[in-house]
Amino acid sequence: MRTDITFASPAGLSTELLAVLALDTQTAKGPDARPAPELLTADAAVKSAAAAVLASGEFKAGANETVLLHAPAGLQAKRLLLVGLGKSSKATVHAVRTAAGTAVRYTKPRGLRELVFALPESDALPLPASARAAVEGAFVGDFDPDTYRSDRKDVSVQSFTVAAPPSADKSALEAAFREGVIIGESQNFTRSLVNEPGNVLTPTEFGKRAAAMAAEVGLQCEVHSTAKIKELKMGAFWSVSQGSEEPPALIVMRYEPEGVKDGPVLGLVGKGITFDTGGISIKPADNMEKMKYDMAGGGAMAGAMRAIALLKPRVRVLCIICASENMPDGKAQKPGDVQTAMSGKTIEIINTDAEGRLVLADGLSYARQLGATHLINAATLTGAIGVALGTVNAGAFSNNDDTYAKFNAALETSGEKFWRMPLGDEYAEMIKSDIGDIKNTGGRYGGAITAAEFLKVFAEDTPWIHLDIAGMAWIDENRPYIAKGPSGVAVRSILEWVRGYAS
């Protein structure tokens, strides 16, 4: 998708499709309720072209609601698409992001190749933030997961242009626009990784894709395998990999901006299980095919690193992705086995399907050994987080209120929804082992929390955030602004958290 920004007035733009946003301003219900939706443009010609449909009451400007007008009078555009932002209390910058996605997903299946998206003119919506969000939303909307369909039609929107008001601050908007391109493309990079089937994206292939991306954007990258994992005494990581014919990959990326020699070193750690059968504690067949997305945490870290390399915040970042299959072969670990993690802690394996915390335990220790002063990990860690929060919020846990405050601030910009979950000694009790230091499951109740408590042991005294994205990394039904399939959740929030530490 080509992207561009223009400061010309929307009425004069000749294009296949011009999209303009509208607010739902109704206070009463019913067909006679007034006033009509408010069009968020100062352009008189656009207003008059839309006046009749707005007055008709047929279009309520609900969030992501659309109405299309052909040959709009007085405009150069062949079509005018109105997209609803919802009620003014909900009409946030994030609503602009989804509205842009909706406009793109409206355009795509109709074979239209170009779209001009007029930024909303409203005091409540800062233009640079809206421009950035619109471009992000357009990339997100443009992605479809049908990579391997032979009848896949190339119906991508070829050109997406943001139209800013002629009076806007050009350089601020252009900078925001460029950020949006980088972030939108990075989120889609993550989604394309997560979308790959397990037979294509093995741990080795994950390493190759990360290395290729790193070379492209100028990150340092090393990809290690079995020998290094054993040399580092990553007994928890290796215990998961030992049951697979596919060798694991320990992917290490570094972003070291020139001249930044002190200050924090942020450690990003991702769960990269390229397929999770459950191991000897094997999963039921129903929905097992979904477990190709069990590397979505690692995928999110790769996407965030891509965006970091291109946006160049002044803070050092290192990234560790622990990539492995979780398989039940003759060499696989068994329930009851005891493993020694890199940190020296001993782990009693109760359920081989609780493998994510095992690979992350050693990933967190290694990030600390490499000098991370702050840690963030992302993982499709537990089904229990979906039971707790549904598919609306992802789970977040932290051992440190200051670093969590930075993450919370990041959500404001990213538009992503995370809900902070509790930790506590009573939960830590639930994973004490009789034979060793800890066990890898704590039973059904509070399953997402005991998993987080497990990770917390390996974060030790380093400020740490754990993101459990199991309920949010895969979308089961199409939405107006995003296709079903991999969501790319957490990329934008991790990026903003990192930027919050830039000097």
- Which of 294, 325, 348, 496 forms a contact with ligand BES (CB under 6 A)? 294
Give the nearer residue to ligand BES in terms of CB position, either 221 or 280. Answer: 280
Cα–Cα dist 228/211, whole Å: 17
x/- letters, 136..165, toward Zn ion (CB under 5 A): ------------------------------
22's enclosing H/E stretch is strand 18-24
CB atoms within 10 A of CB 120: 25
Give the nearer residue to Mn ion in terms of CB position, either 84 or 279. Answer: 279
Which of these ranges, 244-252, 360-368, 379-387, 403-411, lies near ligand BES under the rule CB under 6 A? 379-387
Name the one residue in this structure whose structure tokens are 């390229």.
274
Catalytic residue list contains 357: yes
Q: Which two tokens stand for residue 76?
A: 């150069």
Give the nearer residue to ligand BES in terms of CB position, either 66 or 382. Answer: 382
- Which of 43, 142, 276, 362 forms a contact with Mn ion (CB under 5 A)? 276
Which of these ranges, 116-124, 137-145, 152-160, 375-383, lies near ligand BES under the rule CB under 6 A? 375-383
Pick one of ligand BES, Mn ion, Zn ion, none as the site partner of residue 384 (Cβ within 5 to 8 A by kind): ligand BES
Q: Is 380 in the site for ligand BES (CB under 6 A)?
A: yes
Cα–Cα dist 407/103, whole Å: 30
Burial 245-282, CB ≥16 within 10 A → b, else e: ebbbbbbbbbbebeebeeebbbbbbbbbbbbbbbbbbe
Q: Is 325 in the site for Zn ion (CB under 5 A)?
A: no
Cα–Cα dist 130/172, whole Å: 12
x/- letters, 341..360, toward Zn ion (CB under 5 A): ---------------x----
Q: Is 348 in the site for Mn ion (CB under 5 A)?
A: no
Give the nearer residue to Zn ion in terms of CB position, either 84 or 356. Answer: 356
Min CB(248)–Mn ion separation in Å? 15
Q: Greatest CA separation found in the chain? A: 79
Contact present, 186 and 216 (Cβ < 8 Å): no
Min CB(377)–ligand BES separation in Å? 14
Question: Across the beta sheet with 346-348, what order do the strands follow?
Answer: 338-340, 346-348, 438-439
Q: Is 243 in the site for ligand BES (CB under 6 A)?
A: no
Which of these ranges, 17-25, 354-362, 429-437, 487-495, lies near ligand BES under the rule CB under 6 A? 354-362
Catalytic residue list contains 283: yes
Contact present, 69 and 22 (Cβ < 8 Å): no
- Which of 122, 161, 333, 441 forms a contact with ligand BES (CB under 6 A)? 441
Cα–Cα dist 105/156, whole Å: 9
Q: Please, which residues have CB within 8 angstroms of residue 441's CB and are 6 or more apart in sequence?
A: 350, 351, 354, 431, 447, 450
- Which of 196, 353, 362, 496 forms a contact with Mn ion (CB under 5 A)? 353
Considering 208, 228, 283, 499, which one is annotated as catalytic? 283
- Which of 24, 136, 353, 416 forms a contact with ligand BES (CB under 6 A)? 353
Give the nearer residue to Zn ion in terms of CB position, either 19 or 467. Answer: 467
Q: Please, which residues have CB within 8 angstroms of residue 300's CB and are 6 or more apart in sequence?
A: 190, 270, 378, 469, 473, 488, 489, 490, 491, 494
Residue 464's closest CA among 361, 389, 388, 385?
361
Question: Which CA distances in Å does 383 have to 130, 198, 246?
Answer: 34, 20, 25
- Which residues are part of the catalytic machinery? 283, 357
Which residues form the interface with Mn ion (CB under 5 A)?
276, 353, 355
Which residues form the interface with ligand BES (CB under 6 A)?
276, 294, 351, 353-356, 380, 382-384, 441, 447, 470
Which residues form the interface with Zn ion (CB under 5 A)?
273, 276, 294, 356
